[in-house]
Structure 1
């Protein structure tokens, strides 16, 4: 079928039905699947299949969040694409009528799926009663049955201390997940794209909380869905709310902006102080990162977290990943070179000229490293860290969202996380130049120098914090080679992204790769 796209100004008509009629199987369900869902889901920010030609939307399960007749429903939606593959999404739905419906339609038009003269069918995250019911379900460890599966609430220590349901609000920022804040105590993440299996975000936070790791949010609770076949997936994760100023990306950009401004004004002493403080914070983050990796490597009998040796197979898989990325980058540069500005063409040509040397660097990765692999963060960069006004807290342990759940749960060398953060510092240094684009020729050298210093400060602190850890190799050359391989892997991924989406930013990862060759 052809998916009909709608706009918030023209929602589908809402039948004049009670909750149980609209969500029950039958003609209304068929209309819901064939008209309302195709018009609504493709325009949602959290829908990942916009470019994949969705063909069919069908309800997998419907579960009321409370015993109330008009309770919101958690609806699991299967989306089938032209290639017959499917994805499952979570859609919390509520019918509002009267003043509440009019207010929501006026203030949150993007949340409206269908509308009548006096009612709306809406994303229930904007409904206070729904948010209260979610909290009660978790806090009471309630199990609720649906058409096919069931919901079960789980409570962690942070949630068990709260007696009454706090006032709540849905956060306005909508990305791949949705977020709810309860008072000043609990942060809840509602997952939109679902996969069967243990969610690494919930899994790792529960593990770290059990080891009293203070630099990650404490596990507070979760809501799981279990299918009739016993398959389980996490629908929501609650953590203790971490008071913070911003994420570390925004914080770093702000510090660099102040540094650049003082440099341009000739205030050398003030600029030097800002630089020193920013490098001290980079080192502090390196320490916290090392502490996280130590906590994840603590001895355990849990097979999902028990450390394993790094093998030659791990090295061969990394080498093949890099070779595949090199082939992809070579092909993209060949196709798009003439569309790039001359200065970026020159960098691309340098990359191509050194491609053989880069391939040769991967040849020795098939040798086993005398170290172990553990669970890691999996998608580590400055945006995954909160700046709390003097310290850092690490968040979002989901892993790279476009990878499968099984891949995101794989054990790896913690050096992969280190490489991700080192590349993030390089990006921050150059992104900060955007606020002073007219002074780029003057400031770019400073940005390059700060990037190198921040990376070194972070890495040195991480090395100190992890000295003697079992995931560290006793052979420094092995460790250096492995870190370099992860840096190359990450930079190649960035090149592919930038050449397809942000060509003006392509010099950042291209120079990152070329610097690896200069460091020999």
Structure 2
């Protein structure tokens, strides 16, 4: 049930504020008696309180000033007075003031001076009375609107409703505007007990019987999410390093004016669950705790990374970065450094040397140097690598950095960006694991990882020191800003890398 305001996006005032129950555009979209009439207005006060508390909410620290309803779909109706829970699927834009220091452009999606807005996927359970076991999932009780007097809650916490999602994926089809798709070769059993995972940050995941895992994207935008696009493309090349999607679902947004219809939102992906696997972060910490060797594991992980990069280059378009693209890449890194240094004074003494690392790359571009660009993982670190029960490394979570615009995450980039992310992860593991000489341990793991990558790809990332250093510097600058804002006690970890990287270009 799209709201009329959706076509206006974030350029216009919200359709319901956090403090008033008003959903006139919903009624206009479907008529005075339509299913959207009054829905958003009755939910707005509840969502304004509940949404900012969720770990996956991206706008923390800024007030929610209003909401606009993109769509509302009853996946499972629940008649008033009945005992059967209902399942209501919502796409809602949460409107907030711009973050301090926000820079326009780069796909921010709204004009200067307008409220920023992100579109969130919310699944509401609807019951007359909430059983005690679901009390922690309570969102509230709407006043007015079609859910007046009912109880709404986080649906994924309800095994009955989580099972409904799996059934919709098992038997594909449309439930306007939702579309459920299943890979023809996938076999999905009808009865698999669901379990909501609690360790997710930017999304939510449900495990079904240790057989499948459904990842639901919370902040969504038009376009195929890389976490569907890339594993699907890799599966069709025969790559076994990445779990292949078994099913997924998406939403078709309403038209935005006379131009082409926006691409569908990717809402969730069902993939095999790698039961018995352990992520690389935990394995590294376990090895550090008992002073066990991790070199062979790092070498094998480098080999696996190269295999995935080669498969992506085979499955998807590649391009060449020439002087204009290289200069733009270096300029973007410099801009991020300046922004971070303005927020974190500890970076200031190193700005000149770090800028020089970026300038070294730009200078090579001006001499005619080129680099290949392709689709990459986008946010690779030890936590995104799983060692399976068969002792094989698999890579997961190809969404990229969720804070970046989707178009940017889908853009071909130098594979060394992924490599730099993993190298930084070894630094973090050494520091958190309490090694006596963390830089020595990390250095050994970095060398083993790059050697494994070179063995599989035929290209050693260390043979391009300027490009590798620039990307590692860019990642470390990002980490400094993140730690300063969220985990100040961890700030020394990236700052140690900043000092090392700055010294390397003096």
Normalised by the shorter chain, which TM-score bucket?
0.7 to 0.9
1:125–1:170 contact (8 Å) kept in structure 2: yes
State the match for 1:444 in structure 2: 436
Tell me how far 1:3 sits from its aligned partner.
4.5
2:78–2:126 contact (8 Å) kept in structure 1: no
Tell me how far 1:328 sits from its aligned partner.
3.2
State the match for 1:102 in structure 2: 131
Tell me how far 1:28 sits from its aligned partner.
5.3
Tell me how far 1:485 sits from its aligned partner.
1.4
Tell me how far 1:319 sits from its aligned partner.
1.1
State the match for 1:383 in structure 2: 383
1:322–1:362 contact (8 Å) kept in structure 2: no
What is the distance in 2 between the residues matched to 1:227 and 1:353?
Answer: 46
Pair 226,432 (structure 1): closer, same or farther in 2 beyond 3 Å: same
Helix, strand or coil at the partner of 2:247: strand
State the match for 1:491 in structure 2: 476
State the match for 2:456 in structure 1: 465
Determine if the alignment matches structure 1 residue 244 to structure 2 residue 276.
yes
State the match for 1:408 in structure 2: 409
Pair 496,47 (structure 1): closer, same or farther in 2 beyond 3 Å: closer
Q: What is the total number of aligned residue pairs between the two structures?
A: 445
What is the distance in 2 between the residues matched to 1:241 and 1:360?
Answer: 44
Tell me how far 1:30 sits from its aligned partner.
2.3
1:326 to 337, 357, 367: 337
Pair 177,113 (structure 1): closer, same or farther in 2 beyond 3 Å: farther
Q: How does 1:186-335 map to 2 (within 5 A)?
A: 186-229=212-255, 230-231=261-262, 232-259=264-291, 274-275=292-293, 278-298=294-314, 300=315, 305-334=316-345
Tell me how far 1:294 sits from its aligned partner.
0.6
2:357–2:469 contact (8 Å) kept in structure 1: no
Q: Deviations over 1:12-38 (max 9, x none)?
A: xxxxxxxxx9993334542223x2222
What is the distance in 1 between the residues matched to 2:18 and 2:481?
Answer: 30
1:42–1:50 contact (8 Å) kept in structure 2: yes
2:278–2:387 contact (8 Å) kept in structure 1: yes
What is the distance in 2 between the residues matched to 1:416 and 1:22?
Answer: 53
Q: Deviations over 1:62-111 (max 9, x none)?
A: 1122477564111111212234222111111121235xx222444xx244
Q: Deviations over 1:126-149 (max 9, x none)?
A: 22332222122212111112xxxx
2:168 to 130, 137, 155: 137
Q: Deviations over 1:176-223 (max 9, x none)?
A: 211111112110011111101111110001111111211111211101
Helix, strand or coil at the partner of 2:290: helix
Q: How does 1:79-118 map to 2 (within 5 A)?
A: 79-82=94-97, 83-98=114-129, 101-106=130-135, 109-114=136-141
State the match for 2:350 in structure 1: 351
Q: Deviations over 1:463-504 (max 9, x none)?
A: 111116xxx89xx86x22211211111112222223333344
Tell me how far 1:450 sits from its aligned partner.
0.8
1:246–1:387 contact (8 Å) kept in structure 2: yes
Helix, strand or coil at the partner of 1:59: strand
- The structure in which a higher percent of residues are helix is 1
What is the distance in 1 between the residues matched to 2:224 and 2:348?
Answer: 44
Helix, strand or coil at the partner of 2:266: strand
State the match for 1:60 in structure 2: 70
Deviation larger for 281-290 or 129-138? 129-138
Q: Deviations over 1:271-309 (max 9, x none)?
A: xxx22xx110000100000000010011x5xxxx21111
Tell me how far 1:365 sits from its aligned partner.
4.5
1:213–1:292 contact (8 Å) kept in structure 2: yes
1:23–1:29 contact (8 Å) kept in structure 2: no
1:64–1:73 contact (8 Å) kept in structure 2: yes
- Name structure 1 gaps, 5 residues minimum: 5-20, 260-273, 338-347, 434-442
What is the distance in 2 between the residues matched to 1:403 and 1:191?
Answer: 14
Q: Deviations over 1:134-166 (max 9, x none)?
A: 122212111112xxxx111111256x3234232
State the match for 2:56 in structure 1: 46
What is the distance in 2 between the residues matched to 1:356 and 1:171?
Answer: 41
- Name structure 2 gaps, 5 residues minimum: 1-15, 20-31, 80-84, 98-113, 256-260
Q: Scaled by the length of structure 2, what TM-score is found?
A: 0.80
Determine if the alignment matches structure 1 residue 76 to structure 2 residue 97.
no
* Aligned-residue CA RMSD (Å): 2.8
**Which one has a bigger Cα radius of gyration?**
1
1:137–1:152 contact (8 Å) kept in structure 2: no
Q: Scaled by the length of structure 1, what TM-score is found?
A: 0.78
Deviation larger for 35-44 or 360-369? 360-369
